[in-house]
Chain A
Amino acid sequence: MDNGIAAELAEQVARALADAADVTTLRALEGGDFPASAWEALSGLGLATALVPEAQGGAGLGFADAVPLLEALGHAGAPVPMAEGIGAAALLGAAGIEAPEGVLTFAAAGAPVPWGRHAGHVVLVDGARVALYAAEALRWTEGANIAREPRDVPAVTGAPVAEGTLPNAWGAEAARSVAALLRSAQMAGALQAALSLAVEHANTRKQFGRPIGRFQAVQQQLAVFAAETSAASVAAAAAARAADARGIADAAFEIGCAKVTAGEAAARCAAIAHQVLAAMGITEEHALHHFTRRLWSWREEGGSERFWTARIGATVQAAPGPLWSFLTSRDQEPAA
Chain B
Amino acid sequence: MTGLRFDLRDPPPGAAALRAEVRAFIAEHEHRWTPEVRARSWMGFDRDFTRAVGARGWIGMCWPKQYGGAERSFLERIIVLEEMLAAGAPVGAHWIGDRQSGPLILRLGTEAQRQKFLPKIVSGDYAFCIGLSEPDSGSDLASLRTRADKVDGGWKLNGRKIWTTFGHLCDWMIALVRTSPPPEGGSKHQGLSQVLVDLKAPGVTIRPIRDLVGEEGFNEITFDEVMLPEDALIGQEGAGWAQATSELAFERSGPDRYLSSHPLLETGIEALRSDAAAAPALGREVARLWTLRSMSTAIAGMLQDGDDPVRQAALVKDLGNDFEQALPGAMRALRDVEEMPEAMRRMHDYLTQINPTFSLRGGTREIMRGIIARELGLR
Contact = CB atoms under 8 A, between A and B. Distances in A.
7 contacts: A230-B2, A230-B312, A256-B283, A317-B275, A317-B279, A332-B11, A336-B13
Interface in B53-87: 82-83, 86-87
Contacts of B11: 331-334
Nearest to A219: B373
B262 interface: yes
B282 interface: yes
B377 interface: yes
A103 B262 CA distance: 47
Given A313-B278, A324-B86, 8 more contacts: A192-B2, A223-B369, A226-B2, A226-B376, A256-B283, A260-B287, A308-B287, A309-B282
Nearest to B288: A261
Given A3-B7, A309-B281, A229 B2 contact: yes
Interface string A73-85: 0010000000000
Interface residues of A, number: 59
A294 B2 CA distance: 20
B188 interface: no
Interface of A: 3, 75, 192, 195-196, 199, 202-203, 213-214, 216, 218-220, 222-224, 226-231, 233-235, 237-238, 241, 253-254, 256-258, 260-261, 264, 305-306, 308-317, 322-324, 327-328, 331-334, 336
Contact of B315 (A226, A305, A316): A226
B315 A227 contact: yes
Given A192-B2, A223-B372, A257 B280 contact: no
Contacts of A253: 290
Given A331-B11, A331-B15, A261 B291 contact: yes
Nearest to B368: A223
Given A219-B379, A227-B315, A317-B272, A257 B287 contact: yes
Contacts, number: 178
B293 A327 contact: yes
B25 to A, nearest CB: 15
A218 B372 CA distance: 12
Contacts of B368: 223
Contact of A230 (B275, B315, B379): B315
Contacts of A317: 269, 272-275, 278-279, 282
Contacts of B98: none
A312 B286 CA distance: 7
B283 A227 contact: no
A3 B276 CA distance: 41
A297 to B, nearest CB: 20
Contacts of B49: none
Nearest to B6: A234
Interface in B240-266: 262, 265-266
B211 interface: no
B280 A310 contact: yes
A223 B276 CA distance: 36
Contacts of B86: 322, 324
B333 interface: no
Nearest to B17: A333
A181 to B, nearest CB: 14
Given A213-B378, A328-B19, A219 B370 contact: yes
A309 to B, nearest CB: 4
Given A220-B369, A223-B318, A238-B294, A230 B13 contact: no
Given A202-B378, A324-B262, A313 B286 contact: yes
B266 A323 contact: yes
B340 interface: no
A291 B266 CA distance: 38
B289 interface: yes
Contact of B376 (A199, A214, A309, A328): A199
Contacts of B366: 216, 220
B375 A316 contact: no
Contacts of A238: 8, 290-291, 294
Contacts of B318: 223-224, 227
A260 B378 CA distance: 29
A134 B315 CA distance: 48
Contacts of B275: 317
A195 B370 CA distance: 16
A233 B368 CA distance: 20
Nearest to A14: B1
Given A219-B379, A324-B262, A226 B283 contact: no
Nearest to B4: A230
B16 interface: yes
